[in-house]
């Protein structure tokens, strides 16, 4: 063992707390514990991210080890995830009142955080792969929480797709172990060019399959189908973090593989890049289009996630600084906005048991705060300034229009615009319906249904972030520039 032992705490603490939480029947105590656990975790992660730490847990062989470190990318994702986890936890406390066995939910919710932190901080492919699998396994109980047959089927589908995707990743890992100088993450890539020489095409196939496999978590076509099945059946806070955060787990893996193992210099201009760009563009359009056609609110949001996370993949696969910037901005902004939307959907279900979009008429008058945050998040996803989605779209488009990206980049940007239009179609229509029910609407039937502060405060905080980041993105831009400065 070497390095700062403190770095191990973010992975261990959630498991300790989780085990205690799992046996807390008393609601008040449990909620306090959940809050303490997630708050300590967030504080700890932020503290760790102030400095540079690394920790070698176990040197298994001379090439393989379990090790953690805090490089720029790790800090970026860890801070984002731990903070949103805390906010969603507060919301869950109220929401889980109407679900059975809340202690089980919170146990796995806390466990998952540990797995995610492990994923963020992992220093090499081995650690990343293990954390990735743990993340899948530990989040599956969140999906099947309600225990209904549909939920179980959805959970199995989620597991099946994720394991298949991770399997592709593992396969790639075997190759990388041979062809890389080290499987530790080094900005710029670690491919051993002497070994690769002559096997370029093999390595590209490996890369393509790995990206495809990890893309499964990010909802990339053709392995996206678990998302629209799993999200509607999971409790809303779980859908929120699945959609906002867990999909980003796939993104972390893709970034690590692309930028820290293979390296962009090797990949740029190859068929693998082109193929992945095409897949991401197809996903962007497909997701938005299906969302536009969908009537069940949470499934609509799930399809929207399919589309929006592929913005990130698109940006990453452009393999240029502007695209990378846009992708990471989109990670943050989508995480925030999609959390708001799913939590709003949760608040609506919790208060009114309405799940279809056409049932929501006039609900903006009943729960104004909830629907205002919903509206702001919608604007952000469409990309209307000054909300944050506009900024990420700006950088993605700048990346896509770089001369190197060629026609495909232009098509991609055009599809981004079409997708934005469809987003307006499927989200603004909800907003309009809820706030403007029409002259003939029976206003007497309205009741005050605003949920209590446990639900509204997280929503308001997140929507402040949606607008705040949009207006003042400079700190974020600086952080991402420093990360991309290492890579390019």
Site residues for another protein, 141-200, by CB under 8 A, read 141, 144, 147, 149, 152, 155-156
Piece of 181-189, 262-270, 378-386, 451-459 that binds another protein (CB under 8 A): 378-386
Piece of 193-201, 202-210, 348-356, 471-479 that binds another protein (CB under 8 A): 471-479
Q: How far apart are CB 188 and another protein at their closest, in Å?
A: 26
Q: Site for another protein (CB under 8 A): which residue of 411, 428, 460, 461?
A: 428
| 473 scored as a contact of another protein (CB under 8 A) | yes
Nearer residue to another protein within complex by CB, 161 or 266 = 161
Question: Which x/- pattern over 99-128 shows residues binding another protein (rule: CB under 8 A)?
Answer: --x--x---x-----------------x--
Q: How far apart are CB 223 and another protein at their closest, in Å?
A: 7
Q: Site for another protein (CB under 8 A): which residue of 138, 245, 462, 466?
A: 138
Q: How far apart are CB 313 and another protein at their closest, in Å?
A: 15
Nearer residue to another protein within complex by CB, 130 or 486 = 130
**Residues sharing a CB contact under 8 Å with residue 444, sequence separation 6 or more, in sequence order:** none
Q: Site for another protein (CB under 8 A): which residue of 436, 446, 447, 453?
A: 436
Contacts with another protein in 31-90 (CB under 8 A)? 60-61, 64
Nearer residue to another protein within complex by CB, 255 or 379 = 379
| 386 scored as a contact of another protein (CB under 8 A) | yes
Instruction: Measure the CA–CA gap between 241 and 239, rounded to whole angstroms.
Output: 6
Nearer residue to another protein within complex by CB, 12 or 471 = 471
Q: C-alpha distances in angstroms, 474 versus 371, 388, 400, 481?
A: 28, 12, 21, 10
| 421 scored as a contact of another protein (CB under 8 A) | yes
Tokens of 251: 């993104």
Nearer residue to another protein within complex by CB, 21 or 44 = 21
Indicate left, alpha or beta for 189 from its phi (over 0: left) and psi (-120 to 50: alpha).
left
Q: How far apart are CB 53 and another protein at their closest, in Å?
A: 24
Q: Residue 124's beta-bridge partner residues? A: 184
Q: Site for another protein (CB under 8 A): which residue of 289, 296, 349, 486?
A: 289
Query: In terms of Cα–Cα distance, which of 80, 43, 87, 98 is closest to 459?
Result: 87
Q: Site for another protein (CB under 8 A): which residue of 3, 15, 20, 22?
A: 22
Q: Site for another protein (CB under 8 A): which residue of 271, 356, 471, 485?
A: 471
Instruction: Measure the CA–CA gap between 127 and 131, rounded to whole angstroms.
Output: 6
Nearer residue to another protein within complex by CB, 70 or 139 = 139
Query: In terms of Cα–Cα distance, which of 332, 329, 436 is closest to 375?
Result: 436
Task: Tell me how far apart the 2 most distant CA atoms of the chain are, in Å.
Answer: 77
Q: Site for another protein (CB under 8 A): which residue of 40, 275, 384, 457?
A: 384
Q: How far apart are CB 39 and another protein at their closest, in Å?
A: 26
| 12 scored as a contact of another protein (CB under 8 A) | no
Burial of 174 (0-12, 13-18, 19+ CB in 10 A): exposed
Instruction: Measure the CA–CA gap between 244 and 235, rounded to whole angstroms.
Output: 14
Instruction: Measure the CA–CA gap between 333 and 304, rounded to whole angstroms.
Output: 14
Query: In terms of Cα–Cα distance, which of 278, 310, 306 is closest to 294?
Result: 306
Q: Site for another protein (CB under 8 A): which residue of 116, 413, 427, 466?
A: 413
| 408 scored as a contact of another protein (CB under 8 A) | no
| 238 scored as a contact of another protein (CB under 8 A) | no
Q: Site for another protein (CB under 8 A): which residue of 438, 444, 445, 448?
A: 438
Contacts with another protein in 253-282 (CB under 8 A)? 282
Q: How far apart are CB 432 and another protein at their closest, in Å?
A: 7
Piece of 201-209, 233-241, 452-460, 467-475 that binds another protein (CB under 8 A): 467-475
Nearer residue to another protein within complex by CB, 255 or 279 = 279
| 414 scored as a contact of another protein (CB under 8 A) | yes
Tokens of 118: 């492990």
| 390 scored as a contact of another protein (CB under 8 A) | yes
| 222 scored as a contact of another protein (CB under 8 A) | yes
Number of residues this chain uses to bind another protein (CB under 8 A) = 71
Q: Site for another protein (CB under 8 A): which residue of 217, 224, 299, 338?
A: 224
């Amino acid at each position: 063992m070497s390095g700062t032992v403190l770095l191990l705490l973010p992975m261990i603490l959630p498991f300790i707390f989780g085990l205690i939480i799992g046996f807390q029947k008393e609601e008040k105590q449990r909620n306090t514990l959940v809050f303490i656990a997630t708050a300590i975790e967030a504080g700890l992660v932020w503290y760790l991210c102030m400095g540079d730490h690394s920790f070698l847990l176990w040197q298994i062989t001379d090439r393989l080890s379990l090790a953690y470190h805090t490089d720029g990318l790790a800090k970026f994702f860890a801070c984002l995830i731990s903070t949103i986890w805390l906010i969603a936890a507060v919301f869950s406390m109220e929401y889980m009142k109407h679900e059975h066995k809340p202690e089980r939910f919170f146990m796995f919710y806390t466990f998952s955080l540990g797995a995610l932190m492990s994923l963020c901080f992992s220093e090499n492919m081995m650690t990343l792969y293990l954390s990735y699998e743990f993340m899948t396994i530990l989040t599956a109980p969140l999906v099947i929480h309600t225990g209904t047959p549909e939920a179980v089927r959805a959970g199995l589908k989620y597991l099946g797709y994720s394991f298949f995707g991770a399997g592709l990743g593992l396969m790639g890992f075997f190759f990388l172990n041979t062809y890389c100088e080290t499987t530790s993450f080094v900005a710029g890539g670690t491919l051993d060019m002497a070994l690769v020489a002559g096997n370029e095409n093999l390595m590209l196939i490996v890369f393509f399959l790995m990206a495809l496999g990890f893309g499964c978590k990010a909802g990339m076509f053709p392995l996206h189908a678990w998302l629209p099945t799993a999200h509607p059946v999971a409790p809303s806070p779980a859908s929120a973090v699945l959609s906002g955060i867990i999909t980003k787990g796939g993104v972390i893996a893709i970034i690590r593989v692309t930028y820290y193992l293979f390296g962009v210099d090797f990949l740029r201009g190859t068929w693998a890049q082109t193929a992945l760009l095409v897949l991401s563009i197809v996903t962007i359009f497909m997701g938005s289009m299906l969302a536009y056609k969908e009537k069940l609110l949470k499934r609509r949001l799930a399809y929207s996630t399919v589309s929006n996370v592929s913005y990130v993949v698109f940006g990453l696969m452009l393999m240029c600084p502007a695209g990378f910037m846009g992708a990471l901005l989109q990670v943050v902004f989508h995480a925030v906005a999609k959390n708001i939307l799913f939590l709003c959907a949760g608040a609506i279900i919790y208060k009114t048991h309405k799940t279809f979009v056409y049932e929501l008429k006039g609900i903006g008058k009943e729960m104004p705060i909830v629907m205002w945050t919903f509206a702001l998040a919608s604007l952000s996803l469409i990309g209307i300034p000054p909300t944050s989605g506009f900024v990420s779209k700006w950088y993605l488009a700048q990346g896509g229009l770089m001369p190197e990206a060629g026609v495909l980049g232009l098509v991609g940007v055009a599809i981004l615009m079409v997708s934005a239009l469809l987003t307006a179609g499927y989200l603004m229509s909800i907003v309009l319906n809820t706030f403007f029910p029409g002259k003939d609407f029976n206003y007497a039937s309205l009741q005050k249904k605003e949920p209590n502060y446990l639900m509204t405060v997280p929503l308001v905080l997140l929507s402040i972030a949606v607008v705040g980041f949009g207006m003042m993105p400079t700190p974020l831009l600086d952080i991402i520039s420093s990360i991309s400065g290492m890579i390019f």
